[in-house]
Amino acid sequence: MRNYLIGKDMRGFVTGATEQPRVPHEGSTKAEIDAYNQWNTKDKMVTFILSQNISNSMIGHIQDLETSREVWNNLERLYTSTTKAQKIQLKNELNNLKKSPSMTVNDYVLKIKDVSDALASISSVVDNDDLVAFCLNGLRDDDKWKSFITSVYVRDTLPNFDQLVSLMITEELNLQGSSSRTNQPQVFYTGSRGRGRNSQNRGRGRDNSQQHQSNESWRGGRGGRINGQRGRFGIRGGRGTCFVCGKFGHYANQCYQKHNKSNYASTSDQLQNLDNMLVMNHVSSGSGDYDECDSNWYIDSGCSNHMSCNENVFENLHAPTEFSYVQTGDDSKHCIEHVGNVPLHNSHGSTKCLSNVLHVPTITKNLISVGQIVEKGLQVRFTQRGCFVENPRKGFKIVAKGERKGRLFTMDINNVDTHKMCFAHNNDKVAEIDLWHKRIGHVNFQKLKSMQANEIVYGLPTFKDKSLHYVCEACQLGKQARLPFKRDRYMSRCVLELVHSDVWGPTRETSHGGNRYYVSFIDDYSRKTWVYVMKNKSDVFYYFKIFKSQVEKEVNAQIKILRSDGGGEYFSNEFSNFLIENGIRRQFTCRYTPQQNGVAERKNRVIVEVARSMLNEKKMPHSFWADAVSTVVYLINRCPIAGIHALTPEEIWTGKKPDLSNLRIFGCICYVHVPSEVRSKLDAKSEKCIFIGYSLEQKGYRCYNPITKELRISRDVVFDEITSWYVQSNSLQVDEFIVDEKIKRKIKRNHKRV
């Protein structure tokens, strides 16, 4: 009915597109009256057409309605519930449709088409993938079709419905064996002479039993092309030729592909979508045509040697020392004619070679052997983003990259340079690695790259790769040391099973809080570190009680062992009695053997070296050492530890992956926003300070004002990470002496009021 109204140009009356003119009144003009009469005449005609095409029982529902639009809307409302019920019934019928053993593929497909066409007639079009799924679902009850169903589902992309029907017809003939040569073949949907259409394949076909000349000779008539091959079902016919695999010398009932239920290379060859096929199916001889060789190179872990079918890519070709061949997954054998090298070119003009590559003209794909790459001392890493060939002896430098296409990994030998583009898949911002090296407390460059590549933390951008090794002067001044020595490592089985502790100090210069020592506590399992600054060594026991109370409540566990050196601060009477009362076993080192407390000693060394580097970076006074130490501990708890591999201490302790997007360079100049409550209308809206760390009690940055000698904790901070307070000109450093004392007192008074 909708199409009829569109053909008569009356569709607008029922949709409202053709607006109803105003009803004439005493002041209406003749043109307005004529327009209304003309519209009313056509509207009544549409109403009549609608009433003529419904049953008599439905007339009572529309007889009191005035316009065709009201009639249409009422009928649509009445029929909606009926259409929904019909839609549910048809979908159930399509889902429950099964192919019986006696039913042919042609009859089964026609039933599916009838139901899907009925659904389409009520505006419920069945999606192509759903149609394929319903069709395959109806084959499950027949055991003969289970292998076929599996071979279709293992493809990356399902074939469309027409392609599936073609595969089913071919499979039906395979199952019939030799008797199928005397039966009438069913092409596409009907078994008769005429035109047929299968997706993009089109042609004329004969279906005449007189074409079968004998049990040993069968030739198909003119048929459509599939994969460029003429003949019925896209398979070459001829005397003594198998129409299952297309090879000469045997018939279908003798073909191994017919009896091997798990191999469907013959049916997969009918689809040209590369992503839907396995490499072994491509390598298989199939129909015996070797005219075209794929130019792609496929990285294959099941291939024992590099091999190629294209002689033009080789150099230094020579014949093998003895006759040999390659055996593929379908047990076919292919002769090795030459052995040589294949050059790999990059954008810089240099060339490397794949050595000992086999030239096998009868295969259709070029293969790169993972095993042969591993023999060269390299490693191959497969990820969702591609395939990476890395050199472990050079810090896992990426020497080649392959692309991921579906479930295959390919490599372009004409452009294998990945030195600059190995992270091209990442759309994040690109940043200089030395900037983040400074932000994360001068962390090791290799560790920083690992954190970004393995996504150990959030917030890191993509780093620009530098051809020359970057040397950080601050790191050399703060961390340069002799080569490390090997040491045995013991790892506990749970958190707080073993806690390491050590005291560092005293310093020549006290911190702003008057402290000269700090005590560190390290959990052996997670390697998370806690540091408390102290004025005297005797404060160790006080801070140990604070540490114990805090961590035991955080993880709902108790400290079992405390390992320290033999310092007197750990052996006071009250400390010893406290350990006994709480069931904590003490372990301490022998005299003059700090190596026995190596975890705490090495941790202190790392903390002090990084703190020294950060102070040197911004030329800060030594009085900031306590702030630098606290910042270092905050950072190293959020960096992976060698003994923990790919996890950070913070993630092991809390179960949450840390986010480093809030990090800034220690000691840089920052501008802290001054709230309107503590300033007048003409006062500056920000206060110039030095960034000295991260607050653990508040969600904000710790900033120090060298002029007022006060600490500010705020989230509203703007950072200038390039400059430093202590390397500016002298005119900027004398601000402390020229600031009006009244202004300084006013700022202090306002902050105290807040």
Q: Is the dihedral of CA 691, 693, 694, 695 positive or negative?
A: negative
* Confidence (pLDDT) at 257: 53
User: Mean pLDDT, to the nearest integer, of 112-125?
Assistant: 80
* Confidence (pLDDT) at 278: 36
* Confidence (pLDDT) at 350: 60
> With 60 as the cut, is the pLDDT of residue 248 above it?
no
* Confidence (pLDDT) at 593: 72
Q: Which DSSP state fits 309? A: S
pTM (2 decimals)? 0.39
For 686-729, write each residue's pLDDT tens digit.
999 999 999 988 999 999 999 999 999 999 999 999 988 987 53
Going from the C-alpha of 398 to that of each of 392, 416, 619, the distances in angstroms are: 9, 10, 37
Going from the C-alpha of 636 to that of each of 322, 335, 444, 655, the distances in angstroms are: 60, 59, 11, 16
How many Cα atoms sit within 13 Å of 508 on the Cβ side?
Answer: 2
* Confidence (pLDDT) at 599: 86
Closest CA to 251 of 214, 281, 223: 214
d(CA 401, CA 411): 7
Three-state DSSP state, 208: coil
* Confidence (pLDDT) at 520: 95
In degrees to the nearest 10, what's the CA dihedral of 229, 230, 235, 238? -130
Specify the residue for token string 């560092």.
Answer: 504
User: Mean pLDDT, to the nearest integer, of 289-304?
Assistant: 73
DSSP H helices in 370-526:
370-375, 433-439, 445-453, 473-479
Lowest model confidence (mean pLDDT) among 140-144, 402-406, 422-426, 612-616: 422-426
Three-state DSSP state, 425: coil
For 141-152, write each residue's pLDDT tens digit.
887 888 888 888
* Confidence (pLDDT) at 277: 35
d(CA 199, CA 92): 27
> With 80 as the cut, is the pLDDT of residue 734 above it?
no
* Confidence (pLDDT) at 609: 94
Q: Which residue has the higher pLDDT, 563 or 294?
A: 563
Closest CA to 220 of 256, 258, 180: 180
Give the helix/strand (H/E) hosting 31: helix 30-52
- Report the percent of the chain where pLDDT is more than 90: 22
d(CA 146, CA 498): 58
Query: Would you say 527 and 550 are in contact if contact means Cβ atoms under 8 Å apart?
Result: no
Query: Would you say 688 and 705 are in contact if contact means Cβ atoms under 8 Å apart?
Result: yes
d(CA 515, CA 279): 68
Cis upstream peptide for 185 (omega within 30°): no
* Confidence (pLDDT) at 606: 92
* Confidence (pLDDT) at 575: 93
Give the helix/strand (H/E) hosting 710: strand 710-714
> With 60 as the cut, is the pLDDT of residue 22 above it?
yes
